[in-house]
Amino acid sequence: MALVFTDLCFRYGRRTDVFSGLGLRVDSPATVLLGPNGAGKSTLMALAASQLTPVRGRISWRDVAPASRRERTAYRKAVAWIPQQITPVPGLTVREQVAYAGWLKGLTRTTAWEASARALERVRLGELSDRKSHQVSGGQLRRMGIAGALTHSSELILMDEPTAGLDPQQRAVFRSLVEELGQSVQVLVSTHQTEDLADLYSHVIVLDRGTVRFQGTTQEFHALAAGAESPRGQAEAAYAQLVGREA
């Protein structure tokens, strides 16, 4: 199953192009998107989530492009987006919030409610089901967002900087969650973190100034800096080689 960007052009207002003619195909189970500040990672994620509209070009998931309203609904059901900032609906509990996400994507209230319990168990938030969603931590909020995506059986989950600002323990929880999710849904994760790439992601994309500098398997990425001692050292050296600075 592939997410395909064809001849993609995008700019904010009248500013310089963020993308001009980008072509990219993402079809591996777990892909990480790396790139320095301003590379275009969040913009690419928002375009892939059909939250932004390209100036020119096409984005499709399994050949469905979010061009018309009907296709956009189908596209957004299949492609879920966990943005950097999640703003829960005030007053809802964690479970209500997750069920609401499913209902918004077309599930009946009963189905969404039942699916929300299973989804919360999968992201290890079952114990917090009844807590008000504005009373949970940043890491828990992101897991709640993932649970929302799981209620309506998304096929691809886009996660923008999901580990930013998380403590080591929350990062570890997130890592095991990505590992587990990768068995049943495709994930595309943008991050600055180069640690544990080999354990979590089968493929790497490196973006810089709106251009793809590298796309390949994680092994191919590490092989760019085969001399480095540890996998983490290899990833940092490979990244620095591609974009001329450290992650």
Ligand X SMILES: Nc1ncnc2c1ncn2[C@@H]1O[C@H](COP(=O)(O)OP(=O)(O)OP(=O)(O)O)[C@@H](O)[C@H]1O
Give contact residues for ligand X (rule: CB under 6 A): 12, 15, 18, 35, 37-43
Q: Which residue, 24 or 107, has its beta carbon nearer to ligand X? A: 24
Please report which helix (H) or strand (E) contains residue 46, including its range.
helix 41-48
DSSP class of 87: -
How far is Cα 44 from Cα 62, in angstroms, rounded to an integer? 18
Please report which helix (H) or strand (E) contains residue 232, including its range.
helix 231-243
Q: Which residue, 102 or 162, has its beta carbon nearer to ligand X? A: 162
Q: How far is the CB of 35 from ligand X (least distance, A)?
A: 5
Q: How far is the CB of 99 from ligand X (least distance, A)?
A: 30
How far is Cα 132 from Cα 213, in angstroms, rounded to an integer? 43
Q: How far is the CB of 243 from ligand X (least distance, A)?
A: 11
Q: How far is the CB of 16 from ligand X (least distance, A)?
A: 8
Sheet with 3-10: list strands edge to edge. Answer: 19-26, 3-10, 56-61
How far is Cα 44 from Cα 226, in angstroms, rounded to an integer? 29
Q: Which residue, 96 or 161, has its beta carbon nearer to ligand X? A: 161
Contact 234, 225 (CB under 8 A): yes
Q: Which residue, 77 or 142, has its beta carbon nearer to ligand X? A: 142
Dmax (CA) for the chain in angstroms is 56
Of 171, 218, 228, the C-alpha closest to 197 is: 218
Q: Which residue, 83 or 102, has its beta carbon nearer to ligand X? A: 83
Q: How far is the CB of 114 from ligand X (least distance, A)?
A: 36
Q: How far is the CB of 41 from ligand X (least distance, A)?
A: 4
Helix axes 109-122, 138-151, angle to 10 degrees: 130
Contact 30, 175 (CB under 8 A): no
Q: Which residue, 46 or 117, has its beta carbon nearer to ligand X? A: 46
Can you read off the two tokens belonging to residue 244? 């001329």
Q: How far is the CB of 190 from ligand X (least distance, A)?
A: 7
Q: Which residue, 30 or 247, has its beta carbon nearer to ligand X? A: 247
Q: Which residue has the tokens 């290890």?
A: 124
